[in-house]
Amino acid sequence: MFRGRLHDARTATAVGRWLGAAVAVCFVTGLISHYLQHPPAWSADRLPSRPVWGYRLTQGLHVATGLAAIVLLLAKLWAVYPRLYVRPPVRSVRHGLERLSVAVLVATAVFQLFTGLLNIVEWYPWPFPFVQTHFAVAWVVAGSLLLHIAVKAPDIRAHWGRRSAGTLALPAEDARDRRSLMLGVGAAVGAVTLTTVGQAFTPLKRLDLLAPRHPDHGPQGLPVNRTVAAAGVTARALRDWRLEVLGPAPYSLTLDQLRSLTQTSARLPISCVEGWSVEARWGGVRVRDLVERAGGRPGADVRVVSLEVRGDYRVMEMGREYAEDPLTLLALTLNGRVLSPDHGYPARIIAPNRPGVLQTKWVTRLEVL
Ligand SMILES: Nc1nc2c(c(=O)[nH]1)N[C@H]1C(S)=C(S)[C@@H](COP(=O)(O)O)O[C@H]1N2
Ligand SMILES: [Mo]
């Protein structure tokens, strides 16, 4: 009985291939992000610290393709929703299984994009842990999407090209409307991308109207995720601050002593997993110099402990590629000025090609492992 137009396999294919491309990029960049953040033990010492902008690029793409996929998924669901009303709902075992797999695909894809969207605004209105859940469900999306593509391969093939077999069976006058629909969807994706991508791709920062973060907004011209107040780092704790370095030859340093060591400067981005990213000039002491001074062997891993009282990012470990990298700093300055409290005063980690969550602030102890 359904008479709406463009709800056909041709439209589903036209939107679906863009959606598939967005999901593929989003999935791969998501895996990269996950494994950089939670490397399995065997790989922790082999993660590349170059290119320095690598994580900035992959995480920028992850969030941008995720946002684009929201638009594309809505268009795709619009194209196919009449199938919800197919009667009888199940014609055969095969048909039933196919519908079940589509139900899994739709449910997990909606879940994944929804939780990702709320994550970039740092809102977690659910009882489960975001990172583990988002990671696990990604595999279900990927698996059910591959299954869906396999099941629909004949339809996809028939409708892929401009003059493919399947299009001949469709009303010719729909072609123009379908082009308009695709232009509309493309314009919506373009608008969403242009008004958000500036949070990571700073040449477009003036267009960044809809992203949760603006790359310039924050103390010292840099966003802050967790403030010194939220981290529970008190003025008193900062007054008594000392850097402790544990290792074969442990030592501790006051801030003045730390400032009197060889200072290095590096231009490196902070790239938050939530998608914003900014490059800045950092100054401080090389982590590898501090490790060497503690008698650490070359290639030792380092555990970094923050003054922060509680929080998932109070303790961080870095593998050898980062610990040895001459650009990995215990930073004391940001763009030539002393770190502000919200950026981790008196000392924070900055390392190349690493997720922002591992750029630990208010560092008080390094443990050479
Ligand atoms: N101790 C500690 N360090 C931390 C965090 C934290 O919660 N606690 N947040 C991290 C996150 S998620 C990011 S993106 C960066 C942001 O650094 P910024 O606030 O200086 O921009 O700090 C990281 N360092
Ligand atoms: Mo972050």
Q: Which two tokens stand for residue 41?
A: 């033990």
Q: Are 181 and 4 in contact (CB under 8 A)?
A: no
Length of the chain: 369
15 lines ligand 1 (CB under 6 A): no
What type of residue is 28? V
Query: Largest Cα–Cα distance of the chain, in whole Å?
Result: 81
Testing ligand 1's pocket by substitution, the residue of 121, 277, 361, 362 carrying the most ligand atoms inside 8 A of its CB is 361
| Unique residue bearing structure tokens 């729909």 | 174
354 lines ligand 1 (CB under 6 A): no
333-204-56 Cα angle (round to 5): 55
Query: Is-above-0.85 flag for pTM?
Result: yes
Testing ligand 1's pocket by substitution, the residue of 214, 313, 340 carrying the most ligand atoms inside 8 A of its CB is 313
Tell me the pLDDT of the chain (369 aa) as tens digits.
Answer: 778 899 999 999 999 999 999 999 999 999 999 999 999 999 999 999 999 999 999 999 999 999 999 999 999 999 999 999 999 999 999 999 999 999 999 999 999 999 999 999 999 999 999 999 999 999 999 999 999 999 999 999 999 988 888 878 888 889 999 999 999 999 999 999 999 999 999 999 999 999 999 999 999 999 999 999 999 999 999 999 999 999 999 999 999 999 999 999 999 999 999 999 999 999 999 999 999 999 998 889 999 999 999 899 999 999 999 999 999 999 999 999 999 999 999 999 999 999 999 999 999 999 999
